[in-house]
Structure 1
């Protein structure tokens, strides 16, 4: 499957590694910028790692009441119920990105390398789209296959 687009998503290292290890197949968010099915997400693990460490493809996007999302997807979330409830406290909606084709990079792509993609690159607060050219460069830097 060729992705429709690419984006970099910032994820805490514990959750990023859970995704790349297969223990977490849904990334939960309170809100997310526009994103389409088939988008390749480059996983930027926040500090202390501070690098793109892998990628995944968005297979499906689910939205709903946090309770409904927990009941259907809680076993795929890689977190305990208490942490889920704390994160979604006061939220009207929970958004879940169902991830497939998850791959760990052969090489971490550090912040200095990311600045070769885009001048003055800063890790996104949530997510940022990248161009096809930037995605191709990132793919090479990561030593990715496929």
Structure 2
């Protein structure tokens, strides 16, 4: 079974990823996920909607104190915000993404819950690829 990821992310970061300005998402902890996995971007509060998808190019396990020097230009936040986020974490995972695909219409939380029976995750959750297809179809019906 092919799986996708539903990733909760702050609205400004979700938009930066979909606009191609942010190509790496930093996570304190994250499982091994195969390259090529489809990542569905759920924009958290106050937006509360799926905005589109990207493809996971690769995950990079890295010492937290090396993130800024090696990938600072691609993560879309300043160094002090990164330091605050990674404080107390020895290792982190970088999700390098490409192929951004902004959906024409965001899929709001109500549709996600009511039509798909899905709750947005705190961080991430796995989806079946069929659920991604259903979500995309529903988004095209949102007016």
Supply the distance in 2 between the matched residues of 1:51 and 1:28 (Cα, whole angstroms). 21
Residue of structure 1 aligned with 2:29, choices 9, 28, 31: 31
Q: Secondary structure at the match of 1:91?
A: coil
Aligned length: 138
Match of 1:82 in 2: 80
3, 6, 12: which one pairs with 2:4?
A: 6
* Cα separation, 2, equivalents of 1:53 and 1:45: 7
- By how many angstroms is 1:5 displaced? 2.5
Q: TM-score, normalised by structure 1?
A: 0.89
Partner of 1:112: 110
* Segments ≥4 residues shifted beyond 2 Å: none
Indicate the RMSD between aligned Cα atoms, in angstroms: 1.2
Which whole-Å deviations, capped at 9, do the CAs of 1:103-136 have from their partners, x for residues lacking one?
Answer: 1111100112112112xx2210111111132122
Match of 2:55 in 1: 57
Extract unaligned runs of 5+ from structure 1: none
Does 2:138 correspond to 1:137? no
| Distance apart, 1:34 and its partner CA | 4.0
Q: TM-score, normalised by structure 2?
A: 0.91
In the alignment, the residues of structure 2 paired with residue 142 and residue 7 of structure 1 have an alpha-carbon distance, to the nearest angstrom, of 17
Alignment check: 8 A CA contact 2:65 2:90 kept: no
Residue in 2 that maps onto 1:43 = 41
